[in-house]
């Protein structure tokens, strides 16, 4: 039986699911309910310098009727008295000794303040410390949060101060609001941090109210850039997590607690496959409550069982070798789109997407018994010529359609009617055809197709041609020197 | 001339009748409409658009609902179908747009296109805004339109958008033809038909009511107009050819439906028989139930497989509690002074396919009212001589332009197609309006609709030029 129990930077965890430092971890009462729901750990809402919050604080963007695809906030760190937070940490640890409580800290940038706060948090019983070098709003204007994370020297200096004092593992939380997240991660490594966590939220304006012309979230008619998070940021976070976890400068990668748009077991698995030892969740818990952790654990265990993984470490980082620089991708690999006519519903989204957004190689010319041209057999192809076969454009097809005369089928009047009164089957002339010679294998049609497995990408490369990367071509001196060079353009078109 | 007050304000339907005919397909509430709009896949060259005789760009208007652009949504609908509100309620969407929806093949419910269209059109009507089109610059050309139903209304709209005067002549006191008087009130209330026509009169369409066009009147119109559009629909419902058909208690479906919609009929007697099994017959039978009849029976010479009503109409009638007598023929009407019973006989099909009564199968059905719904005759007697070419009473037209064999005469709707749906009449009228405009214009080309309607860079259905 697989287990979710794991050890992160020396901290024993019942499972890899932690609540991130944020409103869901504001107080002990919340965190104890979260532990009851199944969360393995919680990073306490950042404790430190006294602050005052604004009202309102959160905003979000919806997508096609789905709420909160992206979320942002301009809330600062904990607005509760430090001693209250510390007392509650002690209380939680007394009642939930096996659950992980990490104290997130942010104080003024001087050694004494950090030493003092580290000692108090550890005395309260925290299992580890997370240094908030990521908060992008408000605190950064006062020289804290992302103002530290954006300057590697500050990041290193403060981490060193903390490490002088700390007895528990120190996690440095990184900001994504920087051109290369590996730079502050290296600073953390140089300062002997025990782990990093990434990403914090991204600078954002979620939208403008079109009635009032005021941005969201609105505070007395004004707004300020807030930290962006939620499902929309996951791809950005995965990339940054991979970058840090594949970076060997200034030492081997250190443990990573992955953060950014995680809400399901699949999200968690992806962060772990890119090297995360634990994952932290906030927006999804703010949206649906602590209960989401049940399926995160259940689903992850089920997937682990199917894949044969016993522990988190069994699959942690397995996808890292599959992320490469572009120059190390095989230029001789080739796929083309295949539309499975039996599944096609005739929406023609692939057709319009290919014409307007890709390479004009899907056509509406299928009739019974159409011969499909196979790759490399169509002599008409001329490189870089738009629409080389002079196929009708989507606009021309549309103009034909609206000229057609159709009538309501009335059985009594339509003696030649075949009895068809809807719902109708997909007519063959609505099932698109891929011109394999033209298809560059971009995936777009398969991405827009609403029907699962209707458009698949099928491998069509020549088995006699060995794999070759750009780097290898550069080394061999076979790079294009002009646009008419045979090595220029798309490998499908050779 | 146009009435000074709105047609909508003149709706004669009594409240007690309206209350008995609530919407069969209720309006969408806003959040439900937006959620439904988001479900639409936004097909390209969509099958729903092709299936619609007026080729409304359905995905386009639906996505505008999703983005909250309701004004643009209504304009998209009206650009293709000037009676978009009526059609949204009256269309048999199961065999049209919704029948063609790709969602059927995706094991999902089709998009509720009809209700979404109504949502956009209701929003326009509630806003009090005029039609989003201006009349074209005056060309000095004038067209007379015979009949004030959907075909003529759609034709008139196209003419007005091209600066051509459109005068509609109708025998009834209110416009709309069967759209106003002939559609079951639970599908399209009479008042809603009139509300839509009010917008057309703002476009400058002129109405001449209570005017029957006979051969003499037609000659007068022909001499004073540049072209004539024939959109008078079909004629009276066929009779059974039995003794006693003129006695009280015998009526036909068109009179019956027009009667209750206009307030002349407010109740039904206990026992009603409807002869026929088409869509109109079902509307009449359901109306009798709603008006208080306790036993409503439909009598049809063939079986349910042969009935010309759509299957969803048949299902609706069953839900209303209508009874069916299949393979049954009316042999005589019984009653002294008023109808009291029908003599019926069962029919069987012989080897050569003809229907013959089964000996000894005769029986009596006591009824208070019989409603005939066995098809309409044509109404072309006033087209004396060979003014236009006919075929089995229907006017022959070039489907693309609506032009008849007489180049100054155009036609569309039931008088050309034998009796289809409102949307078919609108499509015919639209093509004819464009066709007339083209024929009235010199080599400079047909005048297009006014520039405000052409703002879109995509080709619009009404933008197709001949």
Q: Residue A48: inside a domain, yes or no?
A: yes
Nearest to A348 among B45, B95, B98 (CB): B45
Per-residue pLDDT, averaged over A178-195, amounts to 97
- Out of A30-44, A423-437, B241-255, B292-306, pick the least confident: A423-437
- Domains detected in chain B: 142-235+386-420+430-440 (3.50.50.60), 250-372 (3.50.50.60)
Contact A244, A174 (CB under 8 A): yes
pLDDT of B431 reads: 98
Chain B residues closer than 8 Å to A207 by CB:
none
The yes-or-no verdict on residue B202 having pLDDT over 70 is yes
Both A58 and A144 in a single domain?
yes
Q: B52: Cβ–Cβ under 8 A, 6 or more apart, which residues?
A: A406, B58, B80, B81, B96, B97, B423
In degrees, rounded to 5, the angle at the alpha carbon of residue A73 between the alpha carbons of residues A70 and A77 is: 140
Tens digit of pLDDT for each residue in B224-283?
999 999 999 999 999 999 999 999 999 999 999 999 999 999 999 999 999 999 999 999
Per-residue pLDDT, averaged over A191-209, amounts to 97
Q: Residue A407: inside a domain, yes or no?
A: no
Both A220 and A266 in a single domain?
yes
**Torsion sign (Cα): A444, A445, A450, A454:** negative
pLDDT of B452 reads: 42
Both A103 and A28 in a single domain?
yes
- What is the end-to-end Cα distance of chain A in Å, rounded? 51
> Would the CB atoms of B104 and A423 count as touching at under 8 Å?
yes
CA distance A205 to chain B (A): 20
Chain A residues closer than 8 Å to B419 by CB:
410, 413
Q: Which of the residues B32, B95, B276 would you substitute to probe the A interface, choosing the one with the greatest number of A C-beta atoms within 10 Å?
A: B95
Given A272, A297, A321, the domain boundary residue is A321
Tens digit of pLDDT for each residue in A241-250?
999 999 999 9
**Strands A256-259 and A276-281: what pairing?**
parallel
Chain B residues closer than 8 Å to A423 by CB:
99-101, 104-105, 110
Chain A residues closer than 8 Å to B53 by CB:
405-408
- Out of A84-88, A241-245, A479-483, pick the least confident: A479-483
Both A25 and A172 in a single domain?
yes
- Among chain B residues, the shortest Cα distance to A424 is held by B100
CA distance A306 to chain B (A): 29
* Residue A302 neighbours by CB distance under 10 Å: 13
Both A23 and A82 in a single domain?
yes
> Would the CB atoms of B92 and A408 count as touching at under 8 Å?
yes
Both A221 and A332 in a single domain?
no
Return the half-sphere exposure (C-beta side, CA atoms, 13 A cut-off) of residue A132. Answer: 30
In angstroms, rounded to a whole number, what is the distance separating the alpha carbons of residues B66 and B367?
52
* Tokens representing residue A374 in the block: 């196979």
Q: B361: Cβ–Cβ under 8 A, 6 or more apart, which residues?
A: B345, B346
In angstroms, rounded to a whole number, what is the distance separating the alpha carbons of residues B409 and B395?
10
pLDDT of A419 reads: 55
pLDDT of A385 reads: 58
CATH number of the domain within which A188 lies? 3.20.20.70
| Torsion angles phi and psi, residue A245, rounded to 5 | -75, -10
Please, what's the b/e burial string for B92-121 (b: 16 or more CB within 10 A of its CB; e: otherwise)? bbbbbbbbbbbbbbbeeebbbbbbbbbbbb
Interface of A with B (CB under 8 A): 64-65, 345-349, 351-352, 364, 394-395, 397-399, 401-413, 421-426, 430, 450-451
Nearest to A404 among B50, B66, B105 (CB): B50
CATH number of the domain within which A380 lies? 3.30.70.20
> Would the CB atoms of B459 and A398 count as touching at under 8 Å?
yes
Mean pLDDT of chain A: 92
Contact A103, A89 (CB under 8 A): yes
The yes-or-no verdict on residue B455 having pLDDT over 50 is no
* Tokens representing residue A105 in the block: 């800290």
Both A278 and A427 in a single domain?
no
CA distance A390 to chain B (A): 19
DSSP string, B56-103: --HHHHHHHHHTT-HHHHHHHHHHH-TTHHHHHHHS-GGGTHHHH-GG
Contact A17, A293 (CB under 8 A): yes
Q: Residue A352: inside a domain, yes or no?
A: yes
Nearest to B424 among A347, A408, A426 (CB): A408
Contact B48, B58 (CB under 8 A): yes
Radius of gyration for the alpha carbons in chain A, expressed in angstroms and rounded = 28
The yes-or-no verdict on residue A476 having pLDDT over 80 is yes
| Torsion angles phi and psi, residue B53, rounded to 5 | -55, -30
The yes-or-no verdict on residue B451 having pLDDT over 60 is no
Tens digit of pLDDT for each residue in B41-57?
999 999 999 999 999 99
Chain B residues closer than 8 Å to A395 by CB:
459
- Among chain A residues, the shortest Cα distance to B424 is held by A407
Tens digit of pLDDT for each residue in A401-414?
889 999 998 877 77
- Among chain B residues, the shortest Cα distance to A452 is held by B106
> Would the CB atoms of B427 and A407 count as touching at under 8 Å?
yes
> Would the CB atoms of B66 and A65 count as touching at under 8 Å?
yes
Both A367 and A219 in a single domain?
no
pLDDT of A256 reads: 98
Secondary element (H or E) of residue B372: strand B369-372
> Would the CB atoms of B308 and A410 count as touching at under 8 Å?
yes
pLDDT of A409 reads: 87
| Torsion angles phi and psi, residue B313, rounded to 5 | -70, -40
pLDDT of A413 reads: 73
In angstroms, rounded to a whole number, what is the distance separating the alpha carbons of residues B63 and B72?
10
Q: Which of the residues B36, B44, B98 would you substitute to probe the A interface, choosing the one with the greatest number of A C-beta atoms within 10 Å?
A: B44
pLDDT of B442 reads: 56
Q: Residue A330: inside a domain, yes or no?
A: yes
| Torsion angles phi and psi, residue B254, rounded to 5 | -65, -45
| Torsion angles phi and psi, residue B100, rounded to 5 | -90, -10
> Would the CB atoms of B106 and A430 count as touching at under 8 Å?
no
Both A266 and A281 in a single domain?
yes
Chain A residues closer than 8 Å to B428 by CB:
none
- Among chain A residues, the shortest Cα distance to B426 is held by A407
Chain B residues closer than 8 Å to A349 by CB:
41-44
The yes-or-no verdict on residue A5 having pLDDT over 60 is yes
Q: Residue A414: inside a domain, yes or no?
A: no
Q: A247: Cβ–Cβ under 8 A, 6 or more apart, which residues?
A: A182, A185, A186, A253
Given A306, A321, A336, the domain boundary residue is A321
pLDDT of B192 reads: 96
Q: Residue A411: inside a domain, yes or no?
A: no
> Would the CB atoms of B42 and A349 count as touching at under 8 Å?
yes
Tens digit of pLDDT for each residue in A132-144?
998 888 888 888 8
Quote the domain boundaries for residue A365.
Answer: 324-392+423-494
> Would the CB atoms of A411 and B308 count as touching at under 8 Å?
yes
* Residue B210 neighbours by CB distance under 10 Å: 10
* Residue A339 neighbours by CB distance under 10 Å: 20
pLDDT of A426 reads: 85
- What is the end-to-end Cα distance of chain B in Å, rounded? 31
> Would the CB atoms of B94 and A404 count as touching at under 8 Å?
no
Secondary element (H or E) of residue B145: strand B142-146
> Would the CB atoms of A408 and B459 count as touching at under 8 Å?
no
Tens digit of pLDDT for each residue in B172-201?
999 999 999 999 999 999 999 999 999 999
Q: Residue A464: inside a domain, yes or no?
A: yes
Of the pLDDT bands very low, low, confident and very high (cuts 50, 70, 90), residue B457 is: very low
User: What distance separates the 2 farthest-apart alpha carbons in chain B?
Assistant: 73
- Among chain B residues, the shortest Cα distance to A344 is held by B105
> Would the CB atoms of A347 and B278 count as touching at under 8 Å?
no
Secondary element (H or E) of residue B348: strand B341-349
| Partners of B364 in beta bridges | B343
Chain B residues closer than 8 Å to A406 by CB:
50-53, 55
Both A449 and A303 in a single domain?
no
pLDDT of B162 reads: 97
Given A270, A291, A321, the domain boundary residue is A321
pLDDT of B135 reads: 96
> Would the CB atoms of A65 and B38 count as touching at under 8 Å?
yes
Chain B residues closer than 8 Å to A422 by CB:
94-96, 98-100, 104
pLDDT of B445 reads: 46
- Among chain B residues, the shortest Cα distance to A350 is held by B44
Q: B95: Cβ–Cβ under 8 A, 6 or more apart, which residues?
A: A408, A409, A421, A422, B310
Of the pLDDT bands very low, low, confident and very high (cuts 50, 70, 90), residue B460 is: very low
Q: What is the 3-state secondary structure (H, E, C) of chain A?
A: CCCCCEEECCEEECCCEEECCCHHHCCHHHHHHHHHHCCCEEEEEEEECCCCCCCCCEEEEEECCEEEEEEEECCCCCCCCHHHHHHHHHHHHHHCCCCEEEEEEECCCCHHHHHHHHHHHHHHCCCEEEEECCCCCCHHHHCCCHHHHCCHHHHHHHHHHHHHHCCCCEEEECCCCCCCCHHHHHHHHHCCCCEEEECCCEEECCCECCCCCCECCCECCECCCEEEECHHHHHHHHHHHHHHHCCCCCCCCCCEEEECCCCCHHHHHHHHHCCEEEEEECHHHHHHCHHHHHHHHHHHHHHHHHHCCCCHHHHCCCCHHHCCCHHHCECCCCEEEEECCCCCCCCCHHHHHHHHHCCCCEECCCCCCCCCCCCCCCCCCCCCCCCCCCCCCHHHHHHHHHHCCCCCCCCCCCCCCCCCCCCCCCCHHHCCEECCCCCCCCCHHHHHCCCCCCEEEEECCCCCCCCCEHHHHHHHCCCCCCCCCCCCCCCCCC
Both A306 and A382 in a single domain?
no
- Among chain A residues, the shortest Cα distance to B421 is held by A408
The yes-or-no verdict on residue B449 having pLDDT over 80 is no
Catalytic residues of A: 135
> Would the CB atoms of B47 and A424 count as touching at under 8 Å?
yes
Nearest to A450 among B96, B106, B308 (CB): B106
Chain A residues closer than 8 Å to B66 by CB:
64-65
Of the pLDDT bands very low, low, confident and very high (cuts 50, 70, 90), residue A417 is: low
Q: Residue A401: inside a domain, yes or no?
A: no
Nearest to B43 among A64, A349, A364 (CB): A349
| Overall number of domains in chain A | 2
Both A349 and A473 in a single domain?
yes
- Among chain B residues, the shortest Cα distance to A427 is held by B47
Residue A123 CA, distance from chain mean position: 37
Return the half-sphere exposure (C-beta side, CA atoms, 13 A cut-off) of residue B214. Answer: 1
Tens digit of pLDDT for each residue in A421-464?
667 778 888 999 998 888 999 999 999 999 999 999 999 888 88
- Out of A242-246, A383-387, B13-17, B207-211, pick the least confident: A383-387
């Amino acid at each position: 039986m697989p287990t979710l129990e794991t050890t992160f930077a020396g901290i024993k965890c019942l499972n890899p699911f932690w609540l991130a430092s944020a409103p869901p971890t504001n107080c002990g009462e919340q965190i104890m309910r979260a532990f009851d729901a199944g969360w393995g750990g919680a990073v306490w809402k950042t404790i430190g310098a006294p602050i005052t919050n604004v009202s309102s604080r959160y905003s979000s963007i919806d997508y096609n009727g789905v709420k909160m695809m992206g979320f942002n906030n301009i809330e600062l760190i904990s607005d509760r008295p430090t001693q209250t937070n510390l007392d509650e940490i002690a209380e939680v640890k007394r009642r939930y000794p096996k659950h992980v409580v990490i104290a997130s800290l942010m104080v003024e940038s001087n050694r004494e303040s950090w030493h003092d706060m580290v000692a108090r948090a550890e005395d309260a019983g925290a299992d580890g410390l997370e240094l908030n070098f990521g908060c992008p709003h408000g605190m950064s204007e006062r020289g804290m949060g992302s103002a530290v994370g954006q300057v590697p020297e500050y990041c290193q200096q403060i981490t060193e101060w903390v490490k002088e004092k700390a007895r528990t593992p120190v996690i440095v939380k990184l900001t994504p609001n920087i051109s290369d997240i590996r730079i502050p991660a290296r600073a953390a490594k140089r300062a002997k941090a025990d782990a990093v966590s990434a990403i914090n939220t991204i600078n954002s304006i979620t939208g403008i109210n079109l009635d009032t012309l005021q941005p969201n979230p609105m505070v007395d008619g004004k707004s300020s850039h807030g930290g962006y998070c939620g499902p929309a940021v996951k791809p950005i976070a995965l990339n940054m997590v991979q970058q840090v976890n594949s970076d060997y400068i200034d030492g081997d990668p250190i443990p990573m607690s992955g953060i950014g748009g995680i809400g399901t077991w699949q999200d968690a698995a992806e962060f772990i496959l890119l090297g995360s030892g634990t994952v932290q969740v906030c927006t999804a818990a703010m949206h649906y409550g602590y209960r989401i952790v049940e399926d995160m654990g259940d689903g992850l265990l089920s997937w682990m069982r199917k894949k044969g993984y016993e522990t988190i470490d069994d699959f942690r980082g397995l996808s890292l070798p599959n992320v490469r620089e572009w120059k190390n991708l095989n230029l001789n690999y080739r796929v083309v789109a295949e539309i499975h006519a039996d599944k096609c519903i005739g929406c023609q989204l692939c057709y319009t997407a290919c014409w307007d957004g890709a390479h004009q190689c899907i056509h509406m010319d299928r009739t019974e018994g159409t011969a499909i041209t196979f790759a490399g057999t169509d002599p008409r192809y001329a490189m870089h010529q738009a629409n080389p076969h002079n196929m009708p454009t989507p606009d021309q097809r549309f103009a034909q359609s609206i000229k057609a005369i159709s009538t309501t089928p009335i059985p009594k009047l339509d003696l030649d009617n075949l009895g068809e009164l809807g719902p109708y089957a997909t007519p063959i002339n609505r099932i698109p055809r891929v011109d394999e010679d033209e298809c560059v294998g971009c995936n777009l049609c398969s991405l827009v197709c609403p029907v699962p497995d209707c458009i698949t990408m099928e491998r069509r490369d020549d088995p006699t041609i060995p794999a070759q990367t750009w780097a290898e071509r550069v080394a061999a001196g076979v790079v294009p020197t002009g646009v008419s060079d045979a090595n220029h353009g798309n490998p499908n078109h050779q | 001339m146009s009435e000074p007050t709105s047609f909508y304000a003149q709706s004669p339907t009594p409240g007690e009748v309206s209350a008995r005919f609530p919407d069969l397909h209720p309006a969408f509430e806003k959040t439900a409409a937006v959620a439904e709009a988001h479900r639409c896949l936004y097909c390209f060259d969509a099958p729903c658009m092709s299936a619609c005789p007026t080729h409304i760009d359905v995905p386009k208007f639906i996505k505008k609902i999703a983005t909250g652009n309701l004004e643009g949504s209504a304009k998209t609908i009206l650009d293709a179908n000037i009676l978009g509100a009526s059609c949204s309620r009256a269309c048999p969407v199961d065999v049209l747009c919704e029948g063609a929806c790709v969602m059927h093949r995706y094991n999902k419910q089709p998009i509720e296109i009809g209700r979404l269209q109504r949502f956009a059109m209701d929003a326009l009507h509630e806003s009090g805004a005029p039609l989003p089109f201006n009349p074209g610059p005056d060309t000095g050309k004038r067209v007379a339109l015979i009949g004030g139903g959907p075909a003529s209304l759609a034709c008139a709209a196209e003419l007005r958008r091209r600066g051509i005067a459109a005068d509609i002549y109708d025998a009834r006191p209110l416009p709309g033809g069967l759209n106003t008087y002939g559609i079951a009130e639970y599908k399209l209330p009479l008042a809603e038909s009139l509300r839509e026509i009010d917008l057309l009169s703002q476009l400058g369409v002129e109405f001449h009511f209570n005017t029957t066009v006979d051969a003499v009147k037609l000659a007068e119109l022909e001499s004073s107009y540049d072209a004539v559009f024939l959109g008078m629909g079909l004629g009276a419902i066929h009779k059974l050819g039995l003794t006693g058909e003129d006695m009280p208690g015998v009526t036909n479906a068109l009179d019956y439906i027009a009667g209750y919609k206009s307030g002349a009929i407010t109740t039904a007697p206990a026992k009603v028989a409807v002869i026929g099994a088409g869509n109109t017959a079902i509307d009449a039978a359901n109306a009798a139930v709603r008006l208080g009849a306790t036993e409503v029976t439909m009598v049809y010479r063939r079986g349910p497989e042969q009935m010309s009503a759509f299957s969803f109409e048949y299902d609706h009638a069953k839900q209303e509690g209508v009874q069916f007598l299949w393979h049954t023929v009316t042999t005589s009407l019984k009653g002294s002074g008023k109808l009291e019973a029908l003599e019926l006989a069962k029919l069987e099909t012989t080897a050569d396919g003809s229907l013959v009564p089964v000996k000894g199968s005769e029986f009596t059905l006591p009824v208070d009212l019989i409603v005939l719904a066995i098809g309409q005759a044509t109404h072309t007697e006033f087209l004396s001589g060979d003014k236009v070419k006919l075929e089995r009473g229907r006017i022959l037209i070039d489907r693309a332009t609506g032009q008849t064999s007489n180049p100054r005469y155009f036609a569309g709707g039931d008088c050309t197609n034998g009796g289809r749906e409102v949307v078919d009449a609108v499509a015919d009228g639209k093509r004819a309006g464009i066709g007339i405009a083209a024929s009235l214009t010199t080599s400079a080309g047909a005048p297009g609709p006014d520039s405000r309607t052409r703002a879109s860079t995509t080709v619009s259905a009404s933008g197709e030029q001949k």
